[in-house]
Amino acid sequence: MKLHCYCSVAALLVSVALAGATNDRYYKSLDFDFFYHVQQWPASFCDTKFGCCFPGNEKPEADFGIHGLWPNYAVCRTAEDAGRPLNQSNTASALALVPLRRRRCRDLIKTNGRRVRAQIRDLESDLLRNWGTLSCKNKESTAFWSHEWTRHGTCSGMDQHAYFRAALEFKARFNLTRILLDAGIVPSDEKEYFLSSIRDAVAEATGSAPNLECNRNERNETQLFQVYQCVGLDGSSPVRCPMPLPMDGGCTDTVKFPAF
Ligand code: 5GP
């Protein structure tokens, strides 16, 4: 009985170790360092001079919407190093760096809205609620999803279903709108907020300080537009954002967070 017990524990430990090794190998095979989970504030998309459109003319809820889940390098790579894992690149000593923060995948999978749709049918209502297009160029969100999959998802190491599900689950787990409301950061056309208070609120709730991007409304006022949360290679755990990141957020010390 005792022997059986020891054997079971040993077998469990071996399988956990093997699973760990398999995971390690899998993560090492990925050609990026972390994901950006990017969400856009709809009011700040809509109140610029470009305006916005809603699929089916139905205004969505006043909630952040997913823009994408983007595989990223932690540092710029040389053109020569692009495509190699960080631990095999010579980037640190290179002079001519190219910004590859949002590089294209080399192995683009030709895809279209219909093919994307077939594989994620069970996620569709969740996607429509949380990843809707606001662009007037697209009449339907499927074109947006298709673009995000082709441009970013194909580098993720995940299949289509896992990719979209990971992005949805991350948003559901860390509800940005709720996090900001709980910190007293309420959408308003009058108030201004310290950028640091927005960053701190997200950092406190998730354990990781996000990067923030701002744009300007038609009155040329700076407003919070997108929140970039850093996520580990598993696509689910928040990680510390690599510093310094080659990113110009366009924000000022105080920003608007407009009503929608
Ligand atoms: P990305 O920045 O992800 O590489 O490209 C975004 C593309 O998706 C652009 O071509 C943009 O026109 C299109 N798009 C469609 N709907 C949306 C939307 O709601 N927000 C943003 N930011 N882009 C959208």
Which amino acid residue places its CA nearest to atom 13 of ligand 1?
144
The 10s digit of each residue's pLDDT in 58-108 is 999 999 999 999 999 887 666 666 655 555 555 443 333 333 334 444 333
Q: Which domain holds residue 90?
A: 31-256
Pocket around ligand 1 at a 6 A CB cut-off: 40, 67-68, 133-135, 137-138, 144, 147-148, 151
Provide the domain count of the chain: 1
- What is the helix (H) or strand (E) element at residue 191, kind and residue range? strand 188-194
Output the CA–CA distances (angstroms, integers) from residue 99 to 74, 81, 210, 227, 244, in the order listed. 11, 12, 20, 20, 13
User: Which secondary-structure segment (H or E) carries 40?
Assistant: strand 34-40
Digit-coded pLDDT (tens) for 196-208: 999 999 999 999 9
Q: Indicate which CATH number applies to the domain containing 159.
A: 3.90.730.10
Let me know if residue 19 belongs to a domain.
Answer: no
What is the rounded distance in angstroms from the CA atom of residue 237 to the CA atom of residue 15? Answer: 23
The structure tokens listed for 241 are 């954002």
Q: pTM here?
A: 0.82
Q: Residue 15 C-alpha to ligand 1 middle, in angstroms? A: 43
> Measured at the alpha carbon of residue 54, what is the angle toward residues 50 and 57, in degrees to the nearest 5?
125
What is the distance of C-alpha 204 from the center of its chain? 18
Q: What pLDDT shows up at residue 98?
A: 36
> Catalytic residue at 67?
yes
The three-class DSSP label of residue 256 is strand
Tell me whether residue 18 is in a domain.
no
Distance 87 CA to ligand 1 centre (A): 32
**pLDDT at 93 (0 to 100):** 35
Domain assignment of residue 156, yes or no: yes
User: pLDDT tens digits for 127-138?
Assistant: 999 999 999 998
Q: Looking at the DSSP assignment, which residues form a beta bridge with residue 36?
A: 70, 230
| CA atoms of 114 and 146, how far apart (whole Å) | 9
